[in-house]
Amino acid sequence: MKPSIYIFSIMLFASVGIIACKKDTQFYNGDVGIYFLPAVQPPEGVAATDSTLLSFAFAKDNVRDSTFYLPVQIMGAVSASDREYKLEIDPSSTAKKGVHFDFTNTKFTIKPNQLLDTIKIKFHRTTDITNQRLTLKLHLISNENFKTVMTGKVTNVTTGARLSYIDYKIKVDDIFGMPSLWSNYFFGKFSKKKVLFMANVLGLTVSQFNDGGQAFLNKEGYYGLFVQRYLNDLATAGQTVYDEDGTPMRMGDKF
């Protein structure tokens, strides 16, 4: 085959492929898609998710509000003008607007020449979340500017579990439960008093026991050893620290 014919064949094959893509994929038909960014492109080292927990339990007593930032991104061409996207609150949400949260955004728009916007939600530390967890469910809805062409994917074929790209749940509470990164092996039996004591000794924020990520996990052994030695020194000096159950505070069996 002559070089010119070979090149023409490649170009023809590529053209057919592009036409097929246009036929099978809505995006190439001109629809501009929109989705919640954490479900599709989370930060490095963080798993994709369509929900999160915001807890005031690990915040100081004088903290009365907390703003949650939820990025929204589009796939498609940028525009020279504002384009509004549609966001709806699911009526089954137990967190109520004007009581438990308010939107900081006055409008939900993708700004000129931008692909990204951030929804800002201010949650309020109300008394009723000290004994119950509330949920805010948000939906991205197609409108004249953006289509929900990416709805999600199945993450477990056996159970049918799905990761949604257009639905997002924010759970909020003020219940001081065991932090997600707590290690019984290194830290021993959980108690609120122990978490607060460890945070103070280690110079950490209490929230890092929940959202410290891999950096926190990598240091759990060091944290446990350091605090146990500190407790031992206090006991030797006659200043034994007692846990909530009245027994001397100690770290895990590792130490």
Question: pTM of the prediction?
Answer: 0.68
Give the length of the chain. 255
Neighbours of 222 (CB within 10 A): 11
Looking at residue 57, the DSSP 8-state letter turns out to be: G
Whether the Cβ atoms of residue 219 and residue 183 lie closer than 8 Å to each other? no
Tokens of 151: 């709805």
Distance CA 233, CA 103 (A): 49
Residue by residue, DSSP assigns 125-180 as --GGGGS--EEEEEEEE--SS-B----EEEEETTTTEEEESSEEEEEEE------T
SS3 assignment, position 121: strand
Per-residue pLDDT for the chain (255 aa), expressed as one digit of tens each? 444 433 434 343 444 444 444 444 444 456 899 999 999 999 887 889 999 989 898 787 899 999 999 999 999 999 999 999 999 999 999 999 999 999 999 999 999 999 999 999 999 999 999 999 999 999 999 999 999 999 999 999 999 999 999 999 999 999 888 888 999 999 999 998 999 999 999 999 887 898 788 899 999 999 999 999 999 999 999 999 999 999 999 999 888
